[in-house]
């Protein structure tokens, strides 16, 4: 297993009190696969990714307990200097908004060169490598693009630059945090297609964070559903779409608008599924029971009052 997260708890110590953003999160990312982390805004997806990268804002953000194993190595035990040797080399991240992630005062070529020097600080002739990366992500006129500034590029082009920077050192794991946010539909499709193609070319596993179930259906091998800072269901993409077991997963799927065509007209409909969760459940410190529905499909009893009635082949307790 390339990435294995076990019982991760990430809290923020603020002036107004303790915020428990991630509570007991556990999931894995196999090699040469795409795992999608889905859930509403504020469910803990990005904080989980920042915990893996070791980029939690200090001193407020703290990894309170749990383990993050990458290639069998526990990242939670590493010093900041040791993490810097992994970050950008073995694990890279594409952030949500490329315009705020790219430095507006530096050219595209200079910023990609900085990414390359993470792995090879003394490397000199990187110009051809930079052009190869821009060609890899299908950017037009790469010779001119290296001299351009971020504001001279479109949103889709800036996102392609971010992908090029993320893949600069051929990482084993690429974390993409909502890489299609603020892009129009056609550019979204191009970026997703590019990521899928690059997974095959470079051999990189992808942890894709999104709340767009259309993206999940197109890209995912495995799906992890988060709600209120906890993993409530996980399985293959077919498990989640064909046999959703948790009320929150069902609510996410029901929120997709459906269109029914007939000979004379078409109708669109939107269903609503209620997810009941008490403040007592949210604040509970103990782990919730995990039910195993198959060898690849598990569901939590958190916010799932009917969960204990589910009888799968082997019920597990976390």
Q: Is the pLDDT of residue 77 over 90?
A: yes
Question: Which has the higher per-residue pLDDT, 270 or 280?
Answer: 280
Q: Is the pLDDT of residue 84 over 60?
A: yes
Looking at the structure, tell me whether residues 295 and 198 fall in a common domain.
yes
Strand partners, 230: 227
Q: Is the pLDDT of residue 123 over 90?
A: no
Q: Is the pLDDT of residue 154 over 60?
A: yes
Looking at the structure, tell me whether residues 201 and 278 fall in a common domain.
yes
Average per-residue pLDDT for the chain: 87
Q: Which has the minimum average pLDDT: 40-44, 201-205, 216-220, 229-233? A: 201-205
The arithmetic mean of pLDDT across residues 295-314, rounded, is 74
Domain count, the chain: 2
Looking at the structure, tell me whether residues 67 and 31 fall in a common domain.
yes
The arithmetic mean of pLDDT across residues 85-111, rounded, is 89
Sign of CA dihedral 102, 103, 104, 106: negative
The arithmetic mean of pLDDT across residues 66-83, rounded, is 94
- Percent of the chain whose predicted confidence (pLDDT) is above 90: 54
Query: From start to end of the chain, where are the E strands?
Result: 3-14, 17-29, 34-38, 61-70, 73-74, 91-94, 173-177, 205-210, 222-227, 230-236, 258-261, 266-269, 289-292, 298-300, 315-317
Q: Is the pLDDT of residue 294 over 60?
A: yes
The structure's pTM equals 0.88
Looking at the structure, tell me whether residues 35 and 57 fall in a common domain.
yes
Looking at the structure, tell me whether residues 288 and 179 fall in a common domain.
yes
Residue 98 placed within a domain: no
- pLDDT tier at 183 (50, 70, 90 boundaries)? confident
Q: What is the CATH number of the domain that holds 44?
A: 3.40.50.300
Place of tokens 């399985």: 235
Q: What DSSP designation does 263 have? A: S
The arithmetic mean of pLDDT across residues 48-65, rounded, is 94
What's the confidence (pLDDT) of residue 316?
45
Looking at the structure, tell me whether residues 297 and 220 fall in a common domain.
yes
Looking at the structure, tell me whether residues 23 and 60 fall in a common domain.
yes
Residue 192 placed within a domain: yes
Domain that holds residue 78: 3-90+171-309
Q: How far is CA 141 from the centre of its chain?
A: 30
């Amino acid at each position: 297993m390339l990435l294995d997260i076990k019982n991760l708890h990430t809290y923020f110590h603020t002036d107004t009190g303790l915020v428990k953003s991630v509570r007991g999160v556990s999931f894995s990312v196999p090699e040469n696969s795409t795992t999608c982390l889905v859930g509403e805004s504020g469910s803990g997806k990005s904080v989980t990714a920042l915990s893996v990268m070791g980029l939690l804002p200090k001193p407020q953000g703290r990894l309170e307990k749990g383990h993050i194993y990458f290639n069998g190595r526990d990242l939670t035990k590493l010093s900041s200097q040791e993490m810097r040797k992994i970050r950008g080399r073995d694990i890279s991240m594409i952030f949500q908004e490329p315009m705020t992630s790219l430095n507006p005062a530096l050219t595209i070529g200079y910023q990609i060169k900085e990414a390359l020097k993470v792995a090879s600080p003394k490397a000199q002739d990187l110009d051809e490598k930079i052009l190869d990366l821009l060609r890899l992500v299908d950017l037009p006129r790469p010779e001119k693009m290296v001299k351009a500034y971020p504001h001279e590029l479109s949103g889709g082009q800036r996102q392609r630059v971010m992908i090029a920077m993320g893949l600069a050192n051929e990482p084993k794991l690429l974390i993409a945090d909502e890489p299609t946010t603020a892009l129009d539909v056609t550019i979204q499709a191009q970026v997703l297609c590019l990521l899928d193609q690059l997974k095959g070319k470079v051999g990189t596993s992808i942890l894709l964070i999104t709340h767009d179930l259309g993206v999940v259906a197109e890209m995912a091998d495995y799906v992890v559903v988060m709600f209120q800072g906890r993993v409530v269901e996980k399985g293959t993409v077919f498990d989640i779409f064909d046999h959703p077991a948790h009320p929150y997963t069902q609510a996410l799927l029901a929120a997709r608008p459906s269109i029914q065509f007939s000979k004379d007209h078409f109708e669109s409909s939107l269903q609503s599924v209620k997810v009941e969760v008490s403040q007592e459940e949210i604040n509970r410190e103990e782990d919730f029971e995990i039910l195993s529905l198959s060898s690849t499909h598990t569901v939590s009893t958190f916010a799932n009052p009917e969960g204990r009635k589910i009888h799968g082949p082997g019920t597990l307790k976390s």
